[in-house]
């Protein structure tokens, strides 16, 4: 009996330590996960989680979420589908089987299992529209544009005090929306590897770092080296080379770390 009690005390202590290390730190976390396709996890300053896209492999995504979310957490502030493409929806289906989002946002509401799962969870589903602003728990998500089609996708801007993260993982249809950001600083741009960097609206931004994504497949992929892409920003990252790309911000300063699997 005493030995069992000791084991119970050790177990409770271990769980308490894990809970302490996984508590909210009051900062913004933007985590580009190394899955096939696009998968971005946001942890807001108040500790709420938002999933953007999800990649093409639900098993890989489940492993990654388990590494970055507390084991007891089963709710999401929101789930966002920037493009209803096969590179994004399988991962989201896996998320919906395990987590309950309070809100779902998408450029196009896809028929089938994605919609059925959300209906079963009684989660409100809304179309993404330019001008929308959503409070993610201390951080503000602004929708710059949302279009469908092969060159479509949603362009999202996350603001936390002085920090700016721009998510533009779709095609050229979203480029024109960047004109309103001309001259502004962007701490992290998440942008497709297969798209060229020589886009006028992109060149007008003051970008500190770029995390390349591979969910968007261009009809004619850009053939540019990492050296050529350095014209875009001084710091470049790609999940296939760097693994998990993790930005942390207190609203003024940012730090970006990487971790290979």
Q: Nearest-CA neighbor of 54 among 84, 24, 27, 25?
A: 84
| Threshold 0.75, pTM exceeds | yes
pLDDT digits (tens, 9 = 90+) for 19-42: 444 556 999 999 999 998 999 999
E strand intervals along the chain:
28-32, 39-43, 49-53, 75-76, 78-81, 100-101, 104-106, 125-127, 133-135, 140-147, 153-160, 163-168, 185-186, 188-192, 206-207, 209-213, 235-237, 244-249, 254-259
The answer to whether residue 7 scores a pLDDT higher than 90 is no
Q: Output the CA–CA distances (angstroms, integers) from residue 150 to 79, 86, 212, 219, 226, in the order listed.
A: 21, 12, 19, 10, 26
> Angle, to 10 degrees, between the axis of helix 89-96 and the axis of helix 58-68?
60
pLDDT digits (tens, 9 = 90+) for 140-173: 999 999 998 889 999 999 999 999 999 999 999 9
Q: Average the pLDDT over 215-220 and give the result.
A: 91
The answer to whether residue 10 scores a pLDDT higher than 60 is no
> Which pLDDT score is estimated for 3?
64
- Can you list the domains of the chain with their CATH numbers? 24-259 (3.60.15.10)
């Amino acid at each position: 009996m005493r030995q069992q009690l000791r084991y119970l005390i050790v177990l409770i202590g271990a769980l308490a330590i894990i809970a302490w290390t996984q508590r909210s730190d009051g900062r913004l976390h933007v985590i580009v996960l190394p899955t096939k396709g696009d998968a971005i996890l946001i942890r807001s300053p108040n500790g709420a989680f938002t999933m953007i896209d999800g990649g093409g492999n639900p098993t890989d995504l489940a492993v990654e979420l388990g590494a970055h979310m507390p084991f007891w957490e089963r709710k999401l502030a929101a789930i966002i589908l920037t493009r209803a493409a096969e590179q994004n929806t399988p991962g989201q289906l896996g998320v919906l089987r395990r987590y309950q989002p309070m809100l779902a946002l998408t450029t196009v509401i896809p028929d089938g299992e994605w919609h059925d799962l959300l209906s079963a969870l009684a989660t409100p589903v809304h179309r993404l529209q330019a001008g929308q602003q959503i409070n993610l728990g201390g951080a503000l998500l602004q929708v710059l544009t949302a279009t469908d089609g092969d060159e479509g996708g949603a362009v999202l801007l996350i603001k936390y005090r002085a920090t700016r993260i721009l998510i533009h993982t779709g095609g050229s249809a979203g480029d024109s929306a960047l004109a309103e950001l001309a001259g502004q600083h962007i701490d992290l741009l998440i942008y497709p590897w297969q798209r060229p960097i020589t886009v006028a609206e992109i060149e007008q931004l003051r970008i500190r770092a770029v995390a390349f994504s591979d969910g968007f497949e261009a009809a004619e992929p850009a053939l540019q080296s990492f050296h050529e892409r350095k014209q875009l920003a001084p710091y470049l990252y790609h999940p296939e080379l760097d693994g998990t790309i993790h930005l942390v911000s207190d609203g003024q300063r940012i730090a970006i770390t990487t971790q290979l699997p």
